[in-house]
C-alpha cells in the first residue's frame, strides 16, 4: 500500500518535472479516478506498470495530462450568464469606458477548454455592439487560456459537433457558424477577436496570460475550473485572478464555485446564484498579495 502511494506520487512528480504541471494540490479523488481511467485504457494493472509505460512511450505524458483535466463545456453554457452579460455587464463596462475616455476592452476566459465559452463571449459582445451601433469603436482583446495545448489547438480551429452547439439559438447559429458536414465552424470575424494561449492558473511564473502583457482585465470568466483544485490552491488562484481584474471589472465563476471568505469583502455580489461579482472601486490590489 505504502509502495503504491509512493508510485502514485512518482507519477505526479514525473508529470511535474517533464511538463512543469503540478497536480499535487488538485482534489485527489478526481485525479485518482482519472488516472485509473487512463491506466485501464493503456492496460496498466498497477502504478508500477503505468510508470513503465511512461518510460517506454513518453508521448503518454500528453495523454495523461489530457485525461487529468476535465474538458466538459458547450456554447452558451448556463444561458443566463450570457443574458446578464448582454443586459447588465457589457452596458456597465462600456459606460465605464465612456467616463474614462478609454476604448480598450479586455476579457479573459481562464480554463477555456475547447473554446466554446470564449467564442460565446465574443458572439455576445458583437451582438451587443451591433445593437448599440458601436462596432469598430473599440480595441477588443479576448484571451482564452488553458493548461492543455492540445485542447487549445482544437479551440483555434473552432470546429464543433452538434452537441456543443445545442444551446445556440437558430439565428446565432446561422450568423456565426458555417455548417461543415455534421460539424459547425465559427466564422472568421468572431475568430479574429479571440486569441488562445497556454497558461497554467496554478503556476508561480505568471499571474495572468503572458501574452496579455499587462493584467487590467475588465471581465474574467473562470467557470468550472477552480472546482477541481484544493481549497488552498483555489485561494491562491483566486487571489491572482482578483489582482488581474480592473476595479469595477466583473468576475464570473461556475455555479458550484465561490469567492474565498477572506476576499468576499473586496467584491460586490451582483448575482449570487449565477456567481457574478464586481470588484469594488476602492479596492487596493496589494490586499490580494499572497505569501
Ligand atoms: C470543465 S472545463 C471548463 C470549461 C469552461 N470554462 C466552461 O465552464 O464551460 C475546465 C478546464 O480547465 C482547464 N484547467 C485545469 N487545470 C488548469 C490550470 N491549472 N490552468 C489552466 N487551466 C486549467 C482544463 O484543461 C479544462 O479545459
For residues 56 and 122, state if they share a domain. Answer: no
Beta-strand pair 183-186/267-271: unpaired
Q: Which domain holds residue 209?
A: 79-288
Pocket, ligand 1, Cβ cutoff 6 A = 69-73, 77, 111-113, 117, 146-148, 151, 200-202, 223-225, 254
For residues 55 and 150, state if they share a domain. Answer: no
Can you give the CATH number for the domain in which 129 is found? Answer: 3.40.50.150
Q: What is the H or E stretch that residue 89 is in?
A: none
**Nearest residue (CA) to ligand 1, atom 24:** 69
- Does 169 fall in a domain? yes
Residue 167 has pLDDT above 60, yes or no: yes
Angle at 120 between CA 119 and CA 121, to 5 degrees: 90
Q: Is 64 helix (H, G, I), strand (E, B) or coil?
A: helix
Q: Is the Cα dihedral 99, 105, 106, 112 positive or negative?
A: positive
Q: Please report the atom of ligand 1 found closest to the CA of residue 202.
A: 19
Pocket mutation for ligand 1, best pick of 34, 65, 69, 142 (most atoms within 8 Å of C-beta)? 69
pLDDT band at 281 (very low <50, low <70, confident <90, very high): confident
Ligand 1 centre distance from Cα of residue 133 (Å): 34
pTM of the predicted model, to two decimals?
Answer: 0.91
Task: Calculate what percentage of the chain has a pLDDT beyond 90.
Answer: 68
Beta-strand pair 177-180/104-110: unpaired
Q: Nearest Cα to 285, choosing from 241, 251, 254?
A: 241
For residues 84 and 60, state if they share a domain. Answer: no
**Nearest residue (CA) to ligand 1, atom 10:** 225
Ligand 1 centre distance from Cα of residue 197 (Å): 13
For residues 179 and 282, state if they share a domain. Answer: yes
Residue 291 has pLDDT above 50, yes or no: no
Q: What tens digit of pLDDT does each residue of 19-67 get? A: 888 999 999 999 999 999 999 999 999 999 999 999 999 999 989 988 9
Residue 85: CB partners within 8 Å, gap ≥ 6? Answer: 121, 124
* Beta-bridge mates of residue 194: 142
Residue 178: CB partners within 8 Å, gap ≥ 6? Answer: 184, 185, 187
pLDDT band at 210 (very low <50, low <70, confident <90, very high): low
Amino acid at each position: 500500500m505504502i509502495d503504491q502511494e509512493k508510485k502514485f506520487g512518482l507519477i505526479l512528480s514525473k508529470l511535474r518535472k517533464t511538463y512543469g504541471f503540478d497536480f499535487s494540490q488538485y482534489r485527489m479523488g478526481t485525479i485518482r479516478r482519472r488516472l485509473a481511467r487512463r491506466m485501464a485504457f493503456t492496460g496498466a494493472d498497477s502504478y508500477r506498470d503505468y510508470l513503465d509505460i511512461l518510460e517506454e512511450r513518453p508521448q503518454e505524458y500528453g495523454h495523461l495530462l489530457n485525461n487529468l483535466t476535465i474538458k466538459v463545456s458547450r456554447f452558451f453554457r448556463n444561458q443566463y450568464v450570457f443574458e446578464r452579460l448582454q443586459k447588465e455587464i457589457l452596458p456597465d463596462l462600456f459606460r465605464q469606458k465612456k467616463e474614462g475616455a478609454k476604448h480598450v476592452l479586455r476579457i479573459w476566459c481562464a480554463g477555456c477548454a475547447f473554446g466554446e465559452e470564449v467564442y460565446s463571449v465574443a458572439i455576445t459582445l458583437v451582438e451587443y455592439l451591433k445593437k448599440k451601433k458601436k462596432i469598430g469603436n473599440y480595441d477588443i482583446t479576448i484571451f482564452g487560456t488553458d493548461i492543455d495545448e492540445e485542447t487549445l489547438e482544437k479551440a483555434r480551429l473552432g470546429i464543433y459537433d452538434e452537441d456543443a452547439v445545442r444551446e445556440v439559438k437558430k439565428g446565432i447559429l446561422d450568423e456565426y457558424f458555417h455548417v461543415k458536414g455534421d460539424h459547425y465552424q465559427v466564422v472568421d470575424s468572431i475568430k479574429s477577436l479571440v486569441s488562445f494561449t497556454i497558461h497554467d492558473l496554478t503556476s508561480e511564473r505568471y499571474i495572468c496570460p503572458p501574452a496579455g502583457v499587462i493584467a487590467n482585465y475588465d471581465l474574467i470568466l473562470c467557470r468550472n475550473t477552480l472546482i477541481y483544485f484544493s481549497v488552498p490552491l483555489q485561494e491562491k488562484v483566486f487571489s491572482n485572478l482578483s489582482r488581474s481584474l480592473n476595479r469595477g471589472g466583473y468576475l464570473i465563476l461556475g455555479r458550484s464555485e465561490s469567492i474565498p471568505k477572506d476576499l468576499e469583502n473586496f467584491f460586490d455580489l451582483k448575482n449570487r446564484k449565477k456567481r457574478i461579482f464586481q470588484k469594488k472601486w476602492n479596492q487596493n490590489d496589494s490586499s490580494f498579495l499572497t505569501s
